[in-house]
Amino acid sequence: MSIPTGNRPNRQPRVTILDVAAKAGVHVSTASRALNPKAEHRISGKMVRKIELIAEQLGYSPNPLATSLRTQRTGTVGLVVPNLSDPLFAPIIAAAQERVAEDDFVTFVASSDYKPEKLLSIIEIMSRRHVAGLMVASFDIKDPAADLCLKLGIPTVAVLRDPRHAELSSVTMDDEKGVRALVEHVLDLGHRRIAYITAPLAASTAHNRLAGFMAGTKLAKAAHCQFDVIEADAYHVEEGERIMKRLIADGMRWTAFLCFNDLLAVGALVALKAAGIACPDEISVTGVNDLPFMGLLSPPLTSLHNAGRKIGSQGAELLLDLIENGHAPTRHVLFSSHVVVRGSTGPAPSRPVQDRDRSAKAARRQPAVRARPRPP
Amino acid sequence: MSIPTGNRPNRQPRVTILDVAAKAGVHVSTASRALNPKAEHRISGKMVRKIELIAEQLGYSPNPLATSLRTQRTGTVGLVVPNLSDPLFAPIIAAAQERVAEDDFVTFVASSDYKPEKLLSIIEIMSRRHVAGLMVASFDIKDPAADLCLKLGIPTVAVLRDPRHAELSSVTMDDEKGVRALVEHVLDLGHRRIAYITAPLAASTAHNRLAGFMAGTKLAKAAHCQFDVIEADAYHVEEGERIMKRLIADGMRWTAFLCFNDLLAVGALVALKAAGIACPDEISVTGVNDLPFMGLLSPPLTSLHNAGRKIGSQGAELLLDLIENGHAPTRHVLFSSHVVVRGSTGPAPSRPVQDRDRSAKAARRQPAVRARPRPP
DNA sequence: CTTTTGTGCGCAAAGGATTGCCCTTGACTC
DNA sequence: GAGTCAAGGGCAATCCTTTGCGCACAAAAG
């Protein structure tokens, strides 16, 4: 039920510590202590050397399963992301994996597929397997999964998304400040009709970026600014494309689009190109994360640079710390992100797209969420 | 030494099978058998239901460590790639992980960093941990690491790169045919001076793609074709950029560049753009793998589509098969790849770049490898 | 010379499950 | 009524290490 079947193949019989002890003519406990640096009961120096030599000769290496069973330590950590192939998460995994490997931990990796119940089951599975710690990149705000980690007593670090749990350390980007800077950027370019495409607000990232957008709207000095928020249901290119297509059909009222992430932005670009709307001449678009290749698109995407590798390694660092000192104080590491200005943002056009002949037909349905315009 | 330290935190005491047995008033062996579907000694139906109920009530779940120690089965598989964040490998990992998770395996993931000795150490570590099987994407041809897997008796499947070991199953792309098709493509476009940038030939992919290129050269009907091979030292964008810069400085003699992979091709595009050389008007460029976003670059990259996810899931499939039936016959699955024609390839220009005034200065150093031109 | 103090190592009990073998019963056959 | 048989469970070994405790012996202290 828990451990799948599978015939063990013809492994050669492993050499155990009994073999070493036998050959050395000592008791296993002596061998164990000799091979264990932190042996409290000390063994004489020459005996240690003798046993080490014999262990070497015999090619002995301790069976981690037995060790783990005895010590309740497995030397494993779990890494969980919502999507393994997303270019945003892969570097986080990679960097974390490298860092923990330095301390001789091996990593279980799993993908929650953006499904809360799957995350719960992953955590349970990993807990059963006695992971020493967990680094999770897919917590929602007040996620029950976070409670579960704490209840199970697993040292846990949240990365990228902060469940905002009082007892859970986190490593995140300063999304709020970042998106605010993006708003500032397009305001500086003269844009006054600005839309923000948010992701589902369960994630703290979505929350913070929206907050950043709202904060940015307060910066607007001009009298007739229009700010709107549109909610996406997913995180991928196709969703961005779908949304932008709909907006174009509905009559485009904005000159600048800030997107929750690069994937949505790329989708928006695709839709704009298909509709023959020029970016940035008619509409400016921005993303978040600055994924690889974003600078090479046409137009190159203005984005917020988020350093995935730094998040991963810092998350691992915190986690190792937590594993070592059972009750380290909760910490929240915040990396600042900076706007990378590229070709997808430009000066605001004199007239928005909807005034052009081409798109006059569509009825103007309201977007999903409508932010209140903020007078200066 | 093998298992890192780390204080186990305040986990609540786990409920063991003894607790279940005690509460049921039976022996642990009875409880074990009742909870184990494949129990040979059968337990009466009502007893099974009783014990299952009690186990449920107590929240019992077997300790995989103890089970593994006893049965020598761990329910884990190892996934090894050369680089976790490479957009080529991440989907392979993701798909494989999904597939084996269906069969209740959890996955150790590690990155060999393109270092043979690191691969060896990863395999040893995973072997010690009793992985049920290994899926490796970073074997070189005749890799000692492949021998090690066999020697250790670990069911192993090679993906993407085939070590060409008689006893090792593999799942790969038909690189040879693919690259030949690319050559065909640029020949059709009228190109007669064609360079191929190969990767280090230790990898079977490099080998096969070069073979595909060489095979392609035989297709050339025109009298004065020039084919050259240039060897890259790495796989990333920067290397492609470096190489192309050097070639430009040396005086560009080619009108079409086939690159070992997309990353090198993207680097080449970057260098060309920096030098003010137009692609595809002056030079055509192709890649391999068709990574995400390649169709959105400027120019969009003509590439060979390789389905990473299919490789990953098929590799997992083979591996699970191998784990189940200790001695399944060796299999080699070959996925065909197809050319995706995009904007980075176009009709051959009338004159190659070097005849233009701008680049006449540089001495013409020979490229790293010079293939013998093939007369038609 | 006896009594303390270590030092160096052995003994055996965990840790939590699986499994070969044996024992007890009740049913069934002759 | 004695003998056969199979079903249902119990016993204890086993997987491999780690570790609390105890023992012996030698050196140091009285």
Q: Could you tell me which of B108, B57, B103 has the C-alpha nearest to residue A3? A: B103
Distances (CA, A) of B257 to A4, A6, B283, B306: 49, 48, 7, 19
A328 touches chain B (CB under 8 A): no
What dihedral angle (degrees, nearest 10) is formed by the CA atoms of A312, A314, A319, A324? 140
Q: How many CA atoms lie within 13 A of B164 on its CB side?
A: 9
Angle at which helices B17-24 and B28-35 pack, to 10 degrees?
110
Protein A117 CA to nucleic acid D23 C1', in Å?
A: 56
pLDDT value of residue B372: 42
Residue nearest to nucleotide C12 (CA to C1'): A29
pLDDT value of residue A4: 73
Angle at the Cα of B270 (from B265 to B276), degrees rounded to 5? 125
Give tens-digit pLDDT for B366-375. 444 444 444 4
pLDDT value of residue A357: 45
Angle at the Cα of A329 (from A324 to A335), degrees rounded to 5? 95
Distances (CA, A) of B215 to B178, B183, B222: 11, 9, 15
Q: Could you tell me which of B174, B166, B170 has the C-alpha nearest to residue B205? A: B174
Best probe of the B interface among A32, A85, A92, A124, by most B CBs < 10 A, is A85
Report the amino acid identity of residue A34. A
Closest partner CB to B266 (pick from A266, A291, A296)? A296
Distance, CA of B73 to chain centre: 26
pLDDT over threshold 90, residue B364: no
pLDDT over threshold 60, residue B1: no
In three-state secondary structure terms, B144 is helix
B91 touches chain A (CB under 8 A): yes
The mean pLDDT of chain B is 89
Which DSSP category does A23 fall into?
Answer: H
Out of A275-279, B161-165, B217-221, B302-306, least confident range: B217-221
Q: What is the pTM of this model?
A: 0.89
pLDDT value of residue B44: 87
pLDDT over threshold 60, residue B203: yes
Q: Flag if A109 and B105 touch (Cβ within 8 Å).
A: no
Report the amino acid identity of residue A319. L
pLDDT value of residue B289: 97
Which DSSP category does A354 fall into?
Answer: G
Structure tokens at B373: 């031109």
Residue B158 to residue B135: CA distance in whole angstroms? 6
The per-residue DSSP string of A230-270 comes to EE-SSSSHHHHHHHHHHHHHT----SEEEESSHHHHHHHHH
Residue B83, C-beta contacts closer than 8 angstroms, at least 6 positions apart:
A94, B89, B111, B113, B114, B235
Q: Measured between beta carbons, which residues in chain A are less than 8 angstroms from residue B152? A: 11
- Which of the four pLDDT bands, split at 50, 70 and 90, describes residue B376? very low
Residue B231, C-beta contacts closer than 8 angstroms, at least 6 positions apart:
B197, B198, B199, B200, B201, B368, B369
Q: Which residues pair with A302 in a beta bridge?
A: A286
Residue B303 to residue A228: CA distance in whole angstroms? 39
Q: Could you tell me which of B356, B97, B131, B125 has the C-alpha nearest to residue B248? A: B356
pLDDT value of residue B6: 57
pLDDT value of residue B350: 79
Residue A20 to residue A18: CA distance in whole angstroms? 5
pLDDT value of residue B220: 75
Return residues 254-293 of B near A (CB < 8 Å): 266, 269-270, 292-293
Return residues 55-74 of A near B (CB < 8 Å): 61-69, 71-74
Are A367 and A252 in contact, with CB atoms under 8 Å apart? no
pLDDT value of residue B374: 41
Q: Measured between beta carbons, which residues in chain A are less than 8 angstroms from residue B278? A: none
Give tens-digit pLDDT for B229-264. 999 999 999 999 999 999 999 988 899 999 999 999
Side by side, the strands of the sheet bearing B256-259 are B226-231, B193-198, B256-259, B284-286
pLDDT over threshold 50, residue B363: no
Strand D: residues with CB below 7 A: A 14, 16-18, 28-29, 32-33, 35-36, 40-41, 60-63, 65-67, 69-71; B 26-30, 41-47, 66, 69-70
Residue B122 to residue B115: CA distance in whole angstroms? 11
Per residue of chain A (376 residues), give pLDDT as tens: 467 765 544 455 689 999 999 999 999 999 999 998 776 567 888 899 999 999 999 999 999 999 999 998 999 999 999 999 889 999 999 999 999 999 999 999 999 999 999 999 999 999 999 999 999 999 999 999 999 999 999 999 999 999 999 999 999 999 999 999 999 999 999 999 999 999 999 999 999 999 999 999 888 765 578 899 999 999 999 999 999 999 999 988 899 999 999 999 999 999 999 999 999 999 999 999 999 999 999 899 999 999 889 999 999 999 999 998 877 899 999 999 999 999 999 999 886 665 554 444 443 434 444 444 444 3
Q: Could you tell me which of A4, A142, A132, A14 has the C-alpha nearest to residue A74? A: A132
In chain A the first and final C-alpha atoms are separated, in Å, by 63
**CB atoms near residue B196 (< 10 Å):** 28
| Alpha-carbon distance A371 to nearest alpha carbon in chain B (angstroms) | 32
| Alpha-carbon distance B212 to nearest alpha carbon in chain A (angstroms) | 28
pLDDT value of residue B354: 58
Q: Could you tell me which of B343, B250, B247, B263 has the C-alpha nearest to residue B302? A: B343
Q: Flag if A65 and B71 touch (Cβ within 8 Å).
A: no
| Alpha-carbon distance A95 to nearest alpha carbon in chain B (angstroms) | 9
A128 touches chain B (CB under 8 A): yes
Residue B297 to residue B273: CA distance in whole angstroms? 12
Residue A353 to residue A285: CA distance in whole angstroms? 14
Q: Could you tell me which of A233, A292, A248, A246 has the C-alpha nearest to residue A266? A: A292
